[in-house]
């Protein structure tokens, strides 16, 4: 399926200009070579009649094009359709997000359809219409491109690459790689000159990116023992589940090259990189569209503003509860005590990152007095215990359901109100159009020099920022 987003003459013009604004939104397959590239590729410009344009890498691979070794399509930023009024497009986008985070080697269309509450036939139809490929073709491309990145940028053995990328066996991985890329995985590693001595992920984003603003937001919220924010980098600990197994370690994200983030992982996190990768992109908001955001925020917007997300929704929810009605500094102090008391020790971690954030199971088993002894008021301790006990049953915790359903789940827990739920949608869900109700700073900012606006007037004043009200929140907090 050829791209329908741009007239092909316009697509070729973007390719001629090597226009980075189209990176991740456009791919070109060259019929004379059988290779597909990003529009920013520095190789010799192909002839117009030899070019076929696609919206996604999966579409190019479905037409039997192989990824370029120089521009590396697996590094392209993703193009996200955040908002839509069409129900079918919304479902297709949710299906793609589910597949992006899928760590089940035996994932099926039937399982995905059941997750979405629709028939497998309807899923195939809407997915093909929106993405130009079947769900399984999309998933296969995602896994193969991740494997290609790991073969190029890591020292993982090929068998570990297959597992990390989501393949059920080395035999299946080798067969799929040879079928699609007509190259053995080991040959790709040799062709690339061998893996770098220090394994490192490379994640691309669309420029500009307000690195200073993102680090300035994260630094005062960094929890002792878990996170360290330094000049140009963030280091932190993390535990996550991949293919049914728990992995724990540390990572460091460094903004040391324009347009790209380098991510160093501790050895025991590399096998879980397939599940970690979409979390990293959401955490640092690497797939945002800076031009569209700037247009929504107006002339006073900081170029390249991003909305920092999270790597662990339980952690962020706990921190949001601890931060209720206290300053950022006080919330950070309470979170540090919380980690020191309930967090698991992590050996061989960088300085300042020696503990994992407490698990839901550990907090569910804690007593009110244990938590309150840290200086946390009793009813907030009750709220944290209730949250931890409910966590395994929440669709929100599994990254399922709609933002509206997630907000309803959260506010049903004692001690979590609409403001906290709105904040969680912003950062835990990475929803671009959330707006926490009743925020005093925002009410002052939107009310100008006059009296505080009513709740209704407050929400009406925020309408001008749609569909990027979450970014407007950070913008207004920053400028207040």
pLDDT in tens, 264-288: 999 999 999 999 999 999 999 999 9
**In the numeric block, which tokens belong to residue 210?**
């307000």
Contact 50, 34 (CB under 8 A): no
Domain CATH number, residue 414: 1.10.340.30
Predicted local confidence at residue 196, as pLDDT: 45
Residues 469 and 380 in one domain: no
Judge if 153 and 282 occupy the same domain. Answer: no
pLDDT the model gives residue 198? 55
Instruction: Tell whether 347 and 303 lie within a shared domain.
Output: yes
In this prediction, residue 164 carries a pLDDT of 92
Q: What is the pLDDT of residue 197?
A: 45
b/e map 177-190, b = 16+ CB within 10 Å: beebbeeebeebbe
Q: What's the Cα-to-Cα distance from 202 to each of 10, 13, 260, rounded to whole Å?
A: 29, 28, 7
In Å, how far are 57, 201, 370, 427 from 430, measured between CA atoms? 24, 22, 32, 5
Looking at the fold, whether 373 and 452 belong to one and the same domain comes out as no
* 197 inside domain: no
What residues of the chain score a pLDDT lower than 70?
A: 1-5, 80-86, 190-198, 398-401
Residues 252 and 384 in one domain: yes
- pLDDT tens, position by position, 57-111: 999 999 999 999 999 999 998 876 554 446 787 788 888 888 888 888 888 899 8
pLDDT of residue 189: 79
What is the number of other CB atoms lying within 10 angstroms of the CB of residue 157?
Answer: 10
Q: Do 109 and 234 belong together in one domain?
A: no
What are the φ and ψ backbone dihedral angles of 137, each rounded to 5 degrees? -65, -40
Sign for the pseudo-dihedral over CA of 218, 94, 74, 279: positive
The DSSP symbol for 436 reads -
**Residue 159 in domain:** yes
> Which residues are marked as active site?
37, 439
The answer to whether residue 3 sits within a structural domain is no
Asked whether the beta carbons of 149 and 156 are under 8 A apart, the reply is no
Q: Are residues 250 and 343 both part of a single domain?
A: yes
Supply the pTM of this predicted model.
0.89
- Last residue of some domain: 73, 96, 127? 73
Domain residue limits at 12? 8-73
Question: How is residue 354 written in tokens?
Answer: 């020696």
HSE-CB at 356 with a 13 A cutoff on CA atoms is 20
Distance of CA 392 to CAs 51, 139, 239, 316, 367, Å?
49, 26, 16, 16, 19
60 and 92 share one domain: no
Contact at 8 Å (CB) between 190 and 166? no
Do residues 458 and 442 make contact, with C-beta atoms less than 8 angstroms apart? yes
C-alpha 104/C-alpha 287 separation (Å) is 24
User: By three-state DSSP, how is residue 429 classified?
Assistant: coil
Rounded to whole angstroms, how far apart are CA atoms 407 and 419?
10
| One domain, residues 436 and 295 | no
d(CA 154, CA 121): 39
pLDDT at 1: 41
- Residue 133 CA: distances (Å) to CA of 1, 121, 282, 326: 8, 14, 24, 49
Give the pLDDT score at 2.
47
Q: Give domain status of residue 203, yes or no.
A: no
Tally of structural domains, the chain: 4
Same domain, residue pair 16 and 157 = no
Cα separation, 203 vs 212, in Å, equals 18
| 243 and 183 housed in the same domain | no
CATH number at 28 reads 3.40.10.10
CA distance 479 to 44: 46
Q: For 76, which DSSP code?
A: S
Q: Is residue 407 part of a domain?
A: yes
Helix then strand then coil, in percent of the chain rounded to 5, is: 50, 10, 40
pLDDT for the residue numbered 370 = 97
Q: How far apart are CA 192 and CA 452, in angstroms?
A: 60
Looking at every residue in the chain, the average pLDDT score rounds to 90
440 and 419 in a common domain: no
- Determine the pLDDT at residue 191: 62
199 falls within a domain:
no
Specify whether the CB–CB gap between 261 and 286 falls below 8 A: yes
Using CA atoms of 104, 108, 110, 111 in order, give the dihedral in degrees to the nearest 10. Answer: 0
Residue 44 lies in a domain: yes
Nearest to 433, CA basis, from 78, 84, 22: 84
Tell me the backbone φ, ψ of residue 69, rounded to 5 degrees.
Answer: -80, -20
pLDDT, tens digit, 9 for 90 and up, residues 439-476: 888 999 988 777 888 888 998 999 999 989 999 999 99
Q: What is the pLDDT of residue 188?
A: 85
Do 465 and 295 contact (CB within 8 A), yes or no?
no
Task: Give the count of alpha carbons within 13 A of 479, CB side only.
Answer: 17
The pLDDT of residue 195 is 42
């Amino acid at each position: 399926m050829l791209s329908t987003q741009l007239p092909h003459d316009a697509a070729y013009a973007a390719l001629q200009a090597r226009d980075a604004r189209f990176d991740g939104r456009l791919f070109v397959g060259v019929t004379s070579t059988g290779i597909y590239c990003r529009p920013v590729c520095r190789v010799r410009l192909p002839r117009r009649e030899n070019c076929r344009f696609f919206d996604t890498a999966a579409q190019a691979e479905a037409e039997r094009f192989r990824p370029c070794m120089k521009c590396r399509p697996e590094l392209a930023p993703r193009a996200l359709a955040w908002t839509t009024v069409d129900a079918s497009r919304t479902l297709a986008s949710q299906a793609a997000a589910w597949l992006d985070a899928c760590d089940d080697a035996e994932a099926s269309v039937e399982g995905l359809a059941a997750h979405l509450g629709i028939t497998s036939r309807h899923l195939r139809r809407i997915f093909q219409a929106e993405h130009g490929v079947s769900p399984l073709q999309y998933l296969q491309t995602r896994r193969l491109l991740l494997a290609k990145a790991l073969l190029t940028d890591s020292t993982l053995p090929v068998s570990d690459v297959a597992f990390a990328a989501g393949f059920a066996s080395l035999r299946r991985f080798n067969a799929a790689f040879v079928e699609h890329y007509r190259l053995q995985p080991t040959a790709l590693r040799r062709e690339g000159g061998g893996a770098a001595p220090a394994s490192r992920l490379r994640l691309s984003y669309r420029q500009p990116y307000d690195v200073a603003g993102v680090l300035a937001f994260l630094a005062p919220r960094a929890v002792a023992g878990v996170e360290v924010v330094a000049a140009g980098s963030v280091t932190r600990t993390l535990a996550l589940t991949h293919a049914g197994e728990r992995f724990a370690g540390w990572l460091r994200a460094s903004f040391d090259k324009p347009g790209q983030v380098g991510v160093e992982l501790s050895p025991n996190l590399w096998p879980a990189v397939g599940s970690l990768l979409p979390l990293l992109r959401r955490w640092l908001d690497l797939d945002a569209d800076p031009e569209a955001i700037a247009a929504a925020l107006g002339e006073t917007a900081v170029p390249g503003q991003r909305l920092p997300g999270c790597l662990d929704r339980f952690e962020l929810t706990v921190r949001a509860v601890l931060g209720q009605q206290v300053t950022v500094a006080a919330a950070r102090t309470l979170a540090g005590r919380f980690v020191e008391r309930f967090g698991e020790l992590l050996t061989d971690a960088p300085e300042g990152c020696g503990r994992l954030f407490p698990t839901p199971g550990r907090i569910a088993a804690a007593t009110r007095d244990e938590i309150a002894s840290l200086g946390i008021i009793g009813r907030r301790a009750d709220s944290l215990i209730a949250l931890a006990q409910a966590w395994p049953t929440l669709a929100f915790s599994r990254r399922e359901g709609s933002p509206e359903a997630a907000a309803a789940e959260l506010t049903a827990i004692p001690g979590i109100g609409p403001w906290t739920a709105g904040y969680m949608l912003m950062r835990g869900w990475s929803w671009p159009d959330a707006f926490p109700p009743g925020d005093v700073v925002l009410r002052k900012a939107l009310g100008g020099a006059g009296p505080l606006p009513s709740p209704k007037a407050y929400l009406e004043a925020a309408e001008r920022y749609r569909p990027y009200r979450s970014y407007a929140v950070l913008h207004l907090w920053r400028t207040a």
